Amino acid sequence: DAKTTQPPSMDCAEGRAANLPCNHSTISGNEYVYWYRQIHSQGPQYIIHGLKNNETNEMASLIITEDRKSSTLILPHATLRDTAVYYCIVSPYSSASKIIFGSGTRLSIRP
């Protein structure tokens, strides 16, 4: 499985856009980019995923570079409830594949 690299921590002002980067330089052609977050000690929560096109849903936007070696998760208007650890994962679209978490980015939203 491809590995990902994320900054250990970031902060963002409430109401501003939070941009969380992820490097996945060894990603394979059949691997998707997934983002999850974990609020406090709860179970992780799915946010968004993509293959090569940019994606947007009600929670966030995902921007994947053309060479697919990096991506950015964008929370357009961060709130205090977005304080969490954010995990970027690359994994094949297959029932036989593992889901391996890295160390993630701890995002703090300041009032």
The piece of 9-17, 19-27, 71-79, 99-107 that touches other proteins (CB under 8 A) is 99-107
Q: How far apart are CA 41 and CA 49, in angstroms?
A: 23
Is residue 43 a contact point for other proteins (CB under 8 A)? yes
Is residue 41 a contact point for other proteins (CB under 8 A)? yes
Q: What is the torsion angle, in degrees rounded to the nearest 10, for the CA atoms of residue 93, residue 97, residue 98 and residue 101?
A: -30
Residue type, 17: A
Is residue 46 a contact point for other proteins (CB under 8 A)? yes
109 in helix, strand or coil? strand
Is residue 5 a contact point for other proteins (CB under 8 A)? no
Binding site for other proteins (CB under 8 A): 32, 34, 36, 38, 41-46, 49, 85, 87, 93-104
